[in-house]
C-alpha cells in the first residue's frame, strides 16, 4: 500500500480507512496492555499518535520501537479519544525499519540545548525546533522565487569563484589547486599562479552584485540567490563564513522604486510565512520568542518610515542629549551600529525604517552620488530585533563619476574594465539591493543565533559535516 504523509493524515477525515505510514518515533508511553507512539515523518511539526495493542502485535516485536527508531505502521485511521489530535492510527502491524539504541542515541526525550544540537547538526533535522526552522527556510526560498518570478525577474547565477575582489565587502577565501606543501614561486618570492587551475589568484565571491548588474543591463530585471563568503574571524551570533544572499537588480529603477520593491518584497515574504508556516511559527513563538507572531504581523501593517541618514543621526543625537546611552558614538559620518538602528526602529518610530542618502565615505564605490557631493543614494532597511536586513542603492550610471570613484579608492582597473563597459555602452539608471537570507530567517523564525537557521554553519574553526 502507498504510504501516506503524516501532514495529510492529520488533515484527513477518512476515518475507518486502512493507512500505511512511516516515520521516526519521538516518544513512546503507555501501559502493559497498550502503547502510544508519537510518530513524526518531517512533513509537519505535529506527531501522529499510533496506538498499539501489545498483546496483538507482540511485546518482542515492539521492543526496539524506542525514541529515534524508524518504523512503518499499517493500521486503521480512527477518531482520537485523546487530546491534541482529532485522528490517530490503530496499528495492525508495525515493521521496524531501523532501531536506535537508547544507550547511544543522542536525541532522547528530554530537551536539549541549542548549543548541544549544533554539535550534532547531522541529527538535528529530527527535532521539533529544526524541523520547524528548515521547513520555514524552504518556504522563504519559495516565497522569494515566486515573488520575483511573478514580477518578471529572471533568476541569474553569478559566479562563485571569482578572480576579482573589487566589491571590497570583506576578507575573502582563496581557491587554489596548488599543493600547499610546495607553492610555486617566482624569483622575487611572489606566488606563481601559472599552474594553478585558473592561472591566477582566485577567491570565493562576497557578492554577485557586479555581475548581476551586467545581466540587468541586458535582461532588464534579474535576481541572484546563491552562497556568498566572508573570511572574517567573527565569532558572533550574527555572522557566518558561508551564507546565502538574494540580490535583485533592475534596469531603469531609481532609488524610489528600489525602496518600493524592497518593502513589497519583504512584506511578501513575511506574509507567506504567516500563510504557509503557521504551525511551525506558532511552535517557535511558544518555545523561544513569545513576541514572534506579533512582530511578524506588525511589519505587515505599517508603511516603512523613509528617512535620510542625516535626519536619522539628528534623532539619535537628540536621544543622546536627552540621556540615552549608546555603546558607540553617534555623529554625522559614523557608520551606524546595530544599537542605533534598533533605537530608530524599536524606540523612536516603532516600525521598520528605510534609511537613505548615507555619507559616501561609508558606502561602496558603485553607489550613485548625490548632487551635494557628500552623500550617495544608498538605502538600508532596518528591522526590529535584526537591525539592517537589506542594504541597497541606486547605482552610479555615469561613466566618468564611477571611474573617478574607482580611482579615488585605488580599485585595480584590471578587475573593473567589464563593469565600466556597462556605463560605456548604453548605460541607464538602475538599482538593486541585497538581502542576507539567514538574516531574514532570524527575523521570521525568531531564533537568535544565525547558526540555528543554517543547516551546516561554517564559522571560524568549524567546517564539520
Cα separation, 412 vs 414, in Å, equals: 5
Element (H, E) at 155: strand 154-155
The DSSP call for residue 123 is T
Cα separation, 336 vs 436, in Å, equals: 18
Question: Using CB under 8 A, which of 94, 217, 345, 450 touches a second copy?
Answer: 217
For the chain, the distance separating the N- and C-terminal CA atoms, rounded to the nearest angstrom, is 36
Q: ∠ CA 38-42-44 to the nearest 5 degrees?
A: 80
| Residue 409 Cβ vs a second copy, minimum distance, rounded to whole Å | 20
Surface-to-core class of residue 444, CB atoms within 10 Å of its CB (0-12 exposed, 13-18 middle, 19+ buried): buried
Question: Using CB under 8 A, which of 30, 79, 98, 111 touches a second copy?
Answer: 98
Could you say which residues in the range 143-202 bind a second copy, by CB under 8 A?
Answer: 145, 149, 152-164, 171, 173-178, 180-181, 183, 185, 189-191, 197-200, 202
Pick between residue 11 and residue 56 the one whose CB is nearest to a second copy: 11
Question: Using CB under 8 A, which of 165, 167, 211, 394 touches a second copy?
Answer: 211
Question: Using CB under 8 A, which of 25, 52, 73, 344 touches a second copy?
Answer: 25
Could you say which residues in the range 64-93 bind a second copy, by CB under 8 A?
Answer: 68-70, 72
Question: Using CB under 8 A, which of 46, 118, 126, 351 touches a second copy?
Answer: 126
Pick between residue 91 and residue 107 the one whose CB is nearest to a second copy: 107
| Residue 5 Cβ vs a second copy, minimum distance, rounded to whole Å | 7
Question: Using CB under 8 A, which of 122, 278, 290, 350 touches a second copy?
Answer: 122
Q: Which of 218, 207, 219, 235 is nearest to 462 (CA)?
A: 235
Residue 218 touching a second copy (CB under 8 A) = yes
Residue 231 touching a second copy (CB under 8 A) = yes
Cα separation, 209 vs 189, in Å, equals: 34
Pick between residue 433 and residue 437 the one whose CB is nearest to a second copy: 437
| Total of chain residues touching a second copy, rule CB under 8 A | 109
Residue 426 touching a second copy (CB under 8 A) = yes
Residue 425 touching a second copy (CB under 8 A) = yes
Residue 464 touching a second copy (CB under 8 A) = yes
CB 247 within 8 A of CB 430: no
Question: Using CB under 8 A, which of 62, 100, 381, 444 touches a second copy?
Answer: 100
Could you say which residues in the range 353-392 bind a second copy, by CB under 8 A?
Answer: none
- 3-state secondary structure (DSSP) of residue 369: strand
Distances (CA, A) of 383 to 60, 89, 263, 391, 445: 56, 45, 11, 12, 14
Pick between residue 49 and residue 69 the one whose CB is nearest to a second copy: 69
Pick between residue 142 and residue 300 the one whose CB is nearest to a second copy: 142
Pick between residue 98 and residue 237 the one whose CB is nearest to a second copy: 98
Pick between residue 135 and residue 368 the one whose CB is nearest to a second copy: 135
Cα separation, 322 vs 316, in Å, equals: 10
| Residue 144 Cβ vs a second copy, minimum distance, rounded to whole Å | 10
CB 360 within 8 A of CB 312: no
Angle between helices 128-150 and 278-287 (to 10 degrees): 130
Cα separation, 98 vs 22, in Å, equals: 11
Of 117-125, 319-327, 343-351, 401-409, which part binds a second copy (CB under 8 A)?
117-125
CB 297 within 8 A of CB 271: no
Amino acid at each position: 500500500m502507498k504510504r501516506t504523509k503524516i501532514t495529510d493524515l492529520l488533515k484527513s477525515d477518512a476515518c475507518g480507512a486502512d493507512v500505511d505510514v512511516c516515520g521516526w518515533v519521538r516518544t513512546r508511553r503507555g501501559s502493559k496492555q497498550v502503547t502510544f507512539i508519537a510518530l513524526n515523518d518531517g512533513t509537519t511539526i505535529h506527531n501522529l499518535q499510533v496506538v498499539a495493542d501489545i498483546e496483538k502485535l507482540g511485546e518482542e516485536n515492539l521492543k526496539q520501537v524506542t525514541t529515534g527508531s524508524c518504523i512503518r505502521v499499517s493500521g486503521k485511521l480512527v477518531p482520537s479519544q485523546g487530546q491534541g489530535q482529532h485522528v490517530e492510527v490503530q496499528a495492525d502491524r508495525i515493521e521496524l525499519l531501523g532501531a536506535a539504541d537508547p544507550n547511544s542515541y543522542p536525541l532522547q526525550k528530554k530537551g536539549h540545548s541549542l548549543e548541544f544540537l549544533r554539535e550534532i547538526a547531522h541529527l538535528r533535522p529530527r527535532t521539533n525546533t529544526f524541523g520547524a526552522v528548515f521547513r520555514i527556510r524552504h518556504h522563504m526560498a519559495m516565497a522569494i522565487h515566486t515573488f520575483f518570478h511573478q514580477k518578471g525577474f529572471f533568476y541569474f547565477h553569478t559566479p562563485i569563484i571569482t578572480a576579482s575582489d573589487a566589491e571590497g565587502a570583506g576578507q575573502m577565501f582563496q581557491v587554489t589547486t596548488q599543493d600547499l606543501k610546495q607553492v610555486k614561486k617566482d624569483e622575487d618570492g611572489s606566488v606563481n599562479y601559472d599552474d594553478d587551475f585558473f592561472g591566477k589568484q582566485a577567491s570565493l565571491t562576497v557578492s554577485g552584485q557586479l555581475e548581476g548588474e551586467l545581466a540587468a543591463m541586458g535582461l532588464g530585471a534579474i535576481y541572484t540567490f546563491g552562497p556568498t563568503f566572508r573570511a572574517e574571524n567573527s565569532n558572533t551570533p550574527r555572522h557566518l563564513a558561508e551564507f546565502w544572499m538574494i540580490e535583485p537588480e533592475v534596469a531603469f529603477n531609481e532609488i524610489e522604486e528600489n525602496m518600493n520593491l524592497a518593502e513589497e518584497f519583504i512584506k511578501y515574504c513575511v506574509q507567506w510565512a504567516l500563510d504557509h508556516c503557521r504551525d511551525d511559527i506558532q511552535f517557535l513563538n511558544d518555545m523561544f520568542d513569545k513576541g514572534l507572531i506579533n512582530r511578524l504581523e506588525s511589519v505587515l501593517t505599517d508603511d516603512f518610515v523613509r528617512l535620510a541618514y542625516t535626519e536619522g543621526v539628528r534623532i539619535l543625537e537628540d536621544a543622546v542629549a536627552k540621556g540615552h546611552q549608546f555603546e558607540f558614538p553617534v555623529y554625522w559620518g559614523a557608520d551606524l551600529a546595530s544599537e542605533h538602528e534598533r533605537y530608530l526602529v524599536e524606540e523612536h518610530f516603532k516600525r521598520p525604517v528605510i534609511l537613505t542618502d548615507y555619507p559616501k565615505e561609508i558606502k561602496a564605490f558603485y553607489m550613485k552620488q548625490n548632487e551635494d557631493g557628500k552623500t550617495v543614494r544608498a538605502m538600508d532597511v532596518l528591522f526590529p530585533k535584526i537591525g539592517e536586513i537589506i542594504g541597497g542603492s541606486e547605482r552610479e550610471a555615469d561613466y566618468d563619476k564611477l571611474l573617478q570613484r574607482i580611482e579615488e579608492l585605488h580599485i585595480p582597473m584590471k578587475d573593473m574594465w567589464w563593469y565600466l563597459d556597462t556605463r560605456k555602452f548604453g548605460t541607464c539608471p538602475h538599482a538593486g539591493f541585497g538581502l542576507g537570507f539567514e538574516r531574514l530567517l532570524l527575523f521570521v523564525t525568531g531564533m537568535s543565533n544565525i547558526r540555528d537557521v543554517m543547516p551546516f554553519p561554517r564559522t571560524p574553526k568549524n567546517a564539520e559535516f
